Structure 1
Amino acid sequence: MIELKQTSKTYEVNGKKVEAVKDVSLTIEKGEVFGVIGYSGAGKSTLIRCVNLLEKPTSGEVFINGVSLTTLSKQDLQKTRRKIGMIFQGYNLLKTATVYENIAIPLKLEGIDKETIQKRAEKYLEIVGLSDKVNHYPSQLSGGQKQRVAIARALAHEPEILLSDEATSALDPETTEAILELLLKINRELGLTIFLITHELNVVQRICDRVAVMENGRVVEEGKVVDIFTHPQHPTTKRFIGSESAFNLPEALKTEYRKTGKLVSLYFKGSEKSNEPALAMVSRKFDVLPSILAGGIEQLKNETLGKLLVHLRGDKEAYEEAIGYLESEGVIVEEWK
Structure 2
Amino acid sequence: MIRLEQVSKSFESKKGVINAVNDVNLHVKKGEIHGVIGYSGAGKSTLIRCVNLLERPTTGKVFIGDKEATSLPLEQLRETRKRIGMIFQGFNLLKTATVYDNIAIPLKLLGFSKSETTLRVEKYLTIVGLADKHQSYPNQLSGGQKQRVAIARALAQEPEILLSDEATSALDPETTDSILDLLLKINQDLGITILLITHEMHVIQKVCDQVYVMEDGYIVEQGSTIDLFTKPQNETTMKFLNTIAQRKLSPSLIKQLNLSGTVTRLTFVGETTGEPILAQVSQKFKVKPNILTANIFELKNDIVGNLVIHLLGEPSEVEAAVSFMLDQGVGLEGLEG
TM-score by structure 2 length? Answer: 0.95
CA distance in 1, matches of 2:121, 2:54: 25
| Structure 1: 5+ residue stretches without partners | none
Does the residue aligned with 1:40 lie in a helix, a strand or coil? coil
Q: Name 1:3's counterpart in structure 2.
A: 3
Aligned-pair identity in percent equals 57
Are 1:101 and 2:65 counterparts?
A: no
Q: Name 1:111's counterpart in structure 2.
A: 111
- In structure 2, do the counterparts of structure 1 residues 15 and 313 end up closer, same or farther at CA, with 3 Å as the change threshold? closer
CA distance in 1, matches of 2:138, 2:176: 18
CA distance in 1, matches of 2:324, 2:244: 23
Q: How does 1:160-199 map to 2 (within 5 A)?
A: 160-199=160-199
CA distance in 2, matches of 1:277, 1:94: 55
CA distance in 2, matches of 1:53, 1:142: 31
CA distance in 2, matches of 1:245, 1:200: 13
Are 1:301 and 2:315 counterparts?
A: no
Q: Name 1:282's counterpart in structure 2.
A: 281
Q: Name 1:317's counterpart in structure 2.
A: 316
Q: How does 1:117-196 map to 2 (within 5 A)?
A: 117-196=117-196
Q: Name 2:57's counterpart in structure 1.
A: 57
Q: Name 1:326's counterpart in structure 2.
A: 325
Q: Name 1:69's counterpart in structure 2.
A: 69
CA distance in 2, matches of 1:318, 1:68: 60
CA distance in 2, matches of 1:228, 1:320: 27
Q: Name 1:27's counterpart in structure 2.
A: 27
- In structure 2, do the counterparts of structure 1 residues 261 and 285 end up closer, same or farther at CA, with 3 Å as the change threshold? same
CA distance in 1, matches of 2:253, 2:101: 60
Does the residue aligned with 1:97 lie in a helix, a strand or coil? coil
CA distance in 2, matches of 1:112, 1:249: 59
Is the 8 Å Cα contact of residues 260 and 314 (structure 1) preserved in structure 2? no
Is the 8 Å Cα contact of residues 273 and 304 (structure 2) preserved in structure 1? no
How far the C-alpha of 1:320 sits from its partner, in A, is 2.8
Q: Which amino acid counterpart does residue 86 of structure 1 have in structure 2?
A: M
How far the C-alpha of 1:255 sits from its partner, in A, is 3.8
Q: Which amino acid counterpart does residue 101 of structure 2 have in structure 1?
A: E
How many matched pairs? 336
TM-score by structure 1 length? Answer: 0.95
Q: Which amino acid counterpart does residue 87 of structure 1 have in structure 2?
A: I
Is the 8 Å Cα contact of residues 201 and 243 (structure 2) preserved in structure 1? no
Are 1:203 and 2:203 counterparts?
A: yes
Does the residue aligned with 2:246 lie in a helix, a strand or coil? helix
CA distance in 2, matches of 1:63, 1:237: 27
| Structure 2: 5+ residue stretches without partners | none
CA distance in 2, matches of 1:114, 1:130: 20
- In structure 2, do the counterparts of structure 1 residues 21 and 274 end up closer, same or farther at CA, with 3 Å as the change threshold? same
Q: Which amino acid counterpart does residue 58 of structure 1 have in structure 2?
A: T
Q: Name 1:86's counterpart in structure 2.
A: 86
Q: Name 2:262's counterpart in structure 1.
A: 262
Does the residue aligned with 2:306 lie in a helix, a strand or coil? strand
Is the 8 Å Cα contact of residues 4 and 26 (structure 1) preserved in structure 2? yes
CA distance in 2, matches of 1:322, 1:277: 14
CA distance in 2, matches of 1:265, 1:316: 17
CA distance in 2, matches of 1:19, 1:277: 50
Q: Which amino acid counterpart does residue 143 of structure 2 have in structure 1?
A: G
